Amino acid sequence: MSTKRKTIAVLPGDGIGPEVTRAAVEVLADSAAAFGHHFEFCELAFGGAAIDRDGEPLPADTLAGCRSADAILLGAIGGPKWDALPLAKRPESGLLRLRKELGLYINLRPVRLRPALQGISPLRADRVAGCDIEIVRELAGDIYFGEHELRGENGNAHARDVAAYTTAEVERVARYAFERAATRGRHVTSVDKANVLSTSVLWRRTVSAVGREFPGIVLDHLYVDNAAMQLLLRPKQFDVILTSNMFGDILSDEAAALAGSIGLIASLSRGRKDAPALYEPIHGSAPPLAGKDIACPLGAIFSATLMLRESFGLAQEAQHIEAAVDRVLDSGYRTMDIAEPGSRVLRCSEFTAQGRHEMHDALLHTERYGWGV
Ligand code: IPM
Ligand code: MG
């Protein structure tokens, strides 16, 4: 077992962000201690918390800390306190800038139904059981990063948001989607609106061309409205969904609901392979839950295990955490948002403590009997 030294920038952010990132940091620290790695955590101000401290959501020292880290763990940002600010000053603008500055053009959102949580999916078991989808969302272009304009007063206003893509921007994210599919079900569904949008015509043409570099992978195209419907009707038809920034934002929330809760879903945002990647749960800051220790830490914990696998090549360590969490769920422990009748409802910190306890137990067992027993 080779020892790894890693620096992790931690951006707790707003609302439930600090609670859930604390949970993820605790399991990462336990994992490092158990497997002999050295993880150094460096906490940085971001989002609304940074606006309150420095007047801007992405202060220079936060950006510098992210650039020099091996990976970044982010909680969530935003909240009613900053909602009245103009778009360019809101916490969300800090996240968009961070994505831009770090060149994070790929966003991966794995949506997997955990057997213990089958009952909380809004779909019947025969439709959703075994569902395992990876959404690959383009993250650095589209209507998110085009010009935004709002002029004039209420009765006589004019607004514009420009959507734009280049061939190169589509190619690089498409390649990633095909590479992911090659390690899984060998099927990419590209989602666009090529019956209406020029950016989508370019998207479809470019994805088809990249697809020809991967003859072993089946490529389908769906219009986004149909894709939204198919996700509910026949989610098991999907392996890797490849889509643009805006459509990916929307479809990934819908797909998360299939798994039972948006609180369960992790994400990876990355660019070039040698640059630090960013990991975050896809849920928001959930202001009504903030500070009450009742949020679900699983989106953040799975973001940590995604980090272990994708940035650090530590698959066994990730598996150790996920298996422990699954045992906690199998024992009927839940946080409030993923509870079913008869569940044993725990607070966020208690649920995390149960997971750490299971990790520790598994380790003692392994010391006695070896891995894989
Ligand atoms: C997400 C979020 C962000 C986005 C917001 C907070 C800017 O919804 O990561 O999905 O729209 O990309
Ligand atoms: Mg979103």
- Look at phi and psi of residue 47 and say left if phi exceeds 0, alpha if psi is from -120 to 50, else beta: left
Q: What average pLDDT is seen over the chain?
A: 95
**Residue 371 binned pLDDT confidence (cut-offs 50, 70, 90):** low
HEC per residue, the chain: CCCCEEEEEEEEECCCHHHHHHHHHHHHHHHHHHHCCEEEEEECCCCHHHHHHHCCCCCHHHHHHHHCCCEEEEEECCCHHHCCCCHHHCHHHHHHHHHHHCCCCEEEEEEECCHHHHHHCCCCHHHHCCCEEEEEEECCCHHHCCCEEEECCHHHCEEEECCCCCHHHHHHHHHHHHHHHHCCCCEEEEEECCCCCHHHHHHHHHHHHHHCCCCCCEEEEEEHHHHHHHHHHCHHHCCEEEECHHHHHHHHHHHHHHCCCHHHCEEEEECCCCCCEEEEECCCCCHHHCCCCCCCCHHHHHHHHHHHHHCCCCHHHHHHHHHHHHHHHHCCEECHHHCCCCCEECCHHHHHHHHHHHHHHHHHHHHHHCCCC
User: Choosing from 52, 61, 83, 225, which is the catalytic residue?
Assistant: 225
Query: Across residues 147-159, what is the average pLDDT?
Result: 91
Closest ligand to C-alpha of residue 139 is: 1
Output the pTM of the full model.
0.95
Q: Which residue among 249, 254, 279 is best mutated to probe the pocket of ligand 1, counting the most ligand atoms within 8 A of its Cβ?
A: 249
In angstroms, the Cα distances linking 206 to 169, 209, 216, 249 are 10, 5, 18, 21
Q: Which residue among 92, 142, 250, 262 is best mutated to probe the pocket of ligand 1, counting the most ligand atoms within 8 A of its Cβ?
A: 92
Q: Which residue among 82, 93, 95, 100 is best mutated to probe the pocket of ligand 1, counting the most ligand atoms within 8 A of its Cβ?
A: 95
pLDDT, residue 366, reads 77
In angstroms, the Cα distances linking 154 to 84, 150, 151, 157, 159 are 16, 11, 9, 6, 11
Express each pLDDT in 93-145 by its tens digit: 999 999 999 999 999 999 999 999 999 999 999 999 999 999 999 999 999 99
CA of 4 to the centre of ligand 2 (A): 33
pLDDT, residue 154, reads 81
CA of 247 to the centre of ligand 2 (A): 10
pLDDT, residue 373, reads 45
User: Choosing from 144, 176, 279, 333, which is the catalytic residue?
Assistant: 144
Annotated active-site residue 193? The verdict is yes
Residue pair 47/13 in contact by the 8 Å Cβ criterion: yes
Give the separation between CA 278 and CA 9, rounded to whole angstroms.
Answer: 9
Residue 372 has pLDDT above 80, yes or no: no
Express each pLDDT in 48-105 by its tens digit: 999 999 999 999 999 999 999 999 999 999 999 999 999 889 999 999 999 999 999 9
Annotated active-site residue 253? The verdict is yes
CA of 248 to the centre of ligand 2 (A): 8
In angstroms, the Cα distances linking 302 to 111, 210, 258, 297, 354 are 11, 30, 17, 9, 15
Nearest protein Cα to ligand 1, atom 11: 249
Give the separation between CA 77 and CA 52, rounded to whole angstroms.
Answer: 13
Residue 148 has pLDDT above 50, yes or no: yes
Q: Which range is most confident: 58-62, 151-155, 359-363?
A: 58-62
pLDDT, residue 369, reads 74
Express each pLDDT in 16-49 by its tens digit: 999 999 999 999 999 999 999 999 999 999 999 9
Q: Kindly state the percentage of the chain with pLDDT values over 90.
A: 93
Residues at CB less than 6 angstroms from ligand 1:
92, 95, 249, 282
Ion ligand 2 contact residues with beta carbon within 5 A:
249
pLDDT, residue 20, reads 98
CA of 283 to the centre of ligand 1 (A): 9
Q: Which numbered atom of ligand 1 lies nearest the CA of 280?
A: 9
Express each pLDDT in 236-283 by its tens digit: 999 999 999 999 999 999 999 999 999 999 999 999 988 999 999 999
Nearest protein Cα to ligand 1, atom 10: 249
Q: Kindly state the percentage of the chain with pLDDT values over 70.
A: 99
pLDDT, residue 1, reads 62
User: Choosing from 142, 193, 239, 333, which is the catalytic residue?
Assistant: 193
- Look at phi and psi of residue 23 and say left if phi exceeds 0, alpha if psi is from -120 to 50, else beta: alpha
Closest ligand to C-alpha of residue 268 is: 1
pLDDT, residue 96, reads 95
Annotated active-site residue 225? The verdict is yes
Closest ligand to C-alpha of residue 250 is: 2
User: Choosing from 54, 132, 220, 253, which is the catalytic residue?
Assistant: 253
User: Choosing from 70, 220, 249, 326, which is the catalytic residue?
Assistant: 249
